[in-house]
Structure 1
Amino acid sequence: MDAHLLRTFVAVAECGSFSAAAAELGYTQSAVSQQIAALESNLGTALLHRRPVVPTPAGERLLEHAGPILLRLDAARADVLRVVGEPPGSIVFGATPLAASPHVARALTELRRSRPGIEVTFAVAGREEVARGVAAGEYHLGLVDGIAAPSDPLKLTAHGTTTAVQNEPLVVALPTDHPLARRRRINLHDLLDARWIDAPEVAAPLPDLRAATETDAIRSTLTYTGTDVLSLLALVAAGHGLAVLPASLTLPGGVAAVPVESPRLVHRTELLHGHVDEPAATTLAAVLADAGERSTG
């Protein structure tokens, strides 16, 4: 099966349109149609209905295999290019905005102490982007955060080996003039009718809060798609909605933090291991893993 044709098939299935997939891939619509026809001929079955453009049952099954296959191909390509083109003693490290904890700064300090002259590229991205980047070999290592029950790992669609780095309490961030701002503890069930900000990259995603409270009542009145925590907190202070955040964050004036008592949840940070045979990545992974044992032990 030609991987080039497989990528085209995935693009058409995800876009739901031959023309949209052609624009995304930089092909003509005719070329995309020919590639899909070639793949269907190779497999001896139709993979896409044409009106509307949706996968057939055989296409659905192929999609289940396509993601892991293409990730492995990307990882292989990145690995080979790293061998022939990456400067010796370099590391590419991805992290989500709230995962860039003091552990990372200390780990990088230790890495530079043990490997002087090391070249580090530190990229900040969304949770799934970091996870997929590690799986595809774009990052040696990744650090991601999210909310979970105290003993549960994070739920990610693409990852390999993980190590817990930190578990810490959660707080509800709300304006200081909010009626509940002076509470010592809070149950999220008391806030089902509150105004919420949906900020999936820098706060607890609302779908996760709905799952934890076993209700669909938690709804957003404003969506923030950025990665700047201070901007989110400015929205909270102005009364646009509440957000659940890790307790270690330093809050600006106008924002109060009330610890979450129930449901039992923590802000969890995990290290994703990718291409760890690179000595620098191995050193960084070991330092972060050791930090995780101390903070979660």
Structure 2
Amino acid sequence: MDPHLLRTFVAVVDNRSFSAAAAELGYTQSAVSQHIAALEADLGTPLVRRRPVAPTGAGERLMEHARPLLLRLEAARVDIARFRATRPARLTIAATPLALTPALARALARIRSRAPGLAVSLHVLGREAVPAAVMAGDADVGLVDGAAAPSDPLPLPDPGPLATVAVAEEPLVVLLPAGHPLTRRRSLRLADLSDAHWLDAPDTAIPLAQLRAAARSDGFRPQVVCRGTDIRGVGTLVASRHGLAALPLAAAAGLPGTVAVPLSAPRLVHRTEALHPADPAATVPELLAALGQ
């Protein structure tokens, strides 16, 4: 399967237009049509309906594979470039909001004190965007957080050839608005909260999908969905009674108008894991060592 044809197919489906896909890719419209026809001939089935432009059933199935395939191809290209390149004195970090902690700031201070000329760039991204940034070569290391049983790895998207290592763990709490009846409890059981109103903030608070899996429940339905990476915004919504949220203890502390109650069952921890290529930049092991101090 030609990756150039696959890239054209994704652009057509995303834009729902052959002409818009041509403009995005810098091709003529006829070249885009030829690419789609060639891909359909290769796979032996129609992939795109023409009027209106939309994927067929087979096209929808191909889309499930197309993005991961293209990402892995880009990761392979970047990995070879890393292998050949002479690395400058730089460190680019992609981190989820809850991975941006005082411990990370202290670790950066340590390595910068040993290398004053080191250029550090930090990008705060969503949970799915962090592994993609490292695989694409846009970041030297990624820091991703989530909830997991103490002995289990985080439920991350396919990290491909990336190495992963746990760098921090802390207790998990439920964030409640001040005055909520459950604030008088010393601890809470996750299963007892499946029918509560929740705030779905998948890139900041613990994703509701992880809570459903931990509680083995189809509950935890969101009352409000919050996109973005602003943890204080999550606290404001909880304080205003728009839903509960699960957070690590340190991140929940000090959010105005809220109370954090420890989660007692099931036994879950908030974990931060680092993701990096098998042949990382020299500054990456230094950062991980500093995080462990």
Q: Structure 1 length normalisation: TM-score?
A: 0.84
1:161 corresponds in structure 2 to 163
Q: Following TM superposition, by how much is the alpha carbon of 1:82 offset from its aligned partner in structure 2, in angstroms?
A: 9.6
Per-residue deviation at 1:267? 0.9
The answer (yes or no) to whether the contact 1:222–1:241 under 8 Å persists in 2 is yes
Q: Residue 77 of structure 1: CA displacement?
A: 4.2
Partner of 2:197: 195
Tell me if 1:253 matches 2:256. yes
Q: Give the direction of change, closer, same or farther, for the CA distance of 1:44–1:252 in structure 2 (3 Å limit).
A: closer
Name the residue aligned to 1:225. Answer: 227
How far does the alpha carbon of each residue in 1:6-40 deviate from its partner, in whole angstroms, 9 at most, with x for none?
21123345666656755764656544322111334
Q: Deviations over 1:93-130 (max 9, x none)?
A: 11000011223112211211222210111111011101
Shift of the 237–27 alpha-carbon distance from structure 1 to 2, 3 Å rule, reads farther
Q: Is 1:265 paired with 2:264?
A: no
Query: Given the alignment, which residue of 137, 162, 182 partners 1:180?
Result: 182
Shift of 1:276: 4.3
SS in 2 for 1:152: coil
Contact kept, 8 Å, 1:128 with 1:158, in 2: the verdict is no
Q: Gapped runs of 5+ residues in structure 2? A: none
Structure 1: unaligned runs, 5 residues or longer? 292-297
Identity fraction in percent: 48
Change in 2 beyond 3 A, CA 1:78/1:21: farther
TM-aligned CA deviation for residue 275 of structure 1: 6.7
- Equivalenced residues, count: 287
Q: Is contact 2:163–2:278 with CA below 8 Å preserved after alignment?
A: no
Aligned letter for 1:169?
P
Taking the aligned partners of 1:115 and 1:147, their CA distance within structure 2 comes to 34
Say whether the 8 Å CA contact 2:83–2:279 is kept in structure 1.
no
Cα 1:75–1:93 shift into 2, 3 Å? farther
Q: What is the CA deviation profile of residues 211-269 of structure 1, one whole-angstrom value per residue up to 9, with x for unaligned ones?
A: 21122221111111121111110111111111010011222331101000112211110
Q: C-alpha offsets along residues 257-293 of structure 1, whole Å, 9 cap, x if unaligned?
A: 10001122111100001274422233223333x34xx
Question: Relative to structure 1, is the Cα distance of residues 47 and 280 closer, same or farther in structure 2, using a 3 angstrom cutoff?
Answer: farther
Distance 1:25 1:177, change over 3 A: farther
Distance 1:122 1:198, change over 3 A: same
Q: Is the 8 A contact 1:139 1:275 kept in 2?
A: no
Counterpart contact for 1:140–1:276, Cα < 8 Å? no
Partner of 1:104: 104
1:208 aligns with 2:207: no
CA distance in 1, matches of 2:247, 2:26: 40
Helix, strand or coil at the partner of 1:56: helix
Report the alpha carbon displacement of residue 162 of structure 1 after superposing the two structures with TM: 0.2
Judge conservation of contact 1:115–1:280 (CA < 8 Å) in 2: no
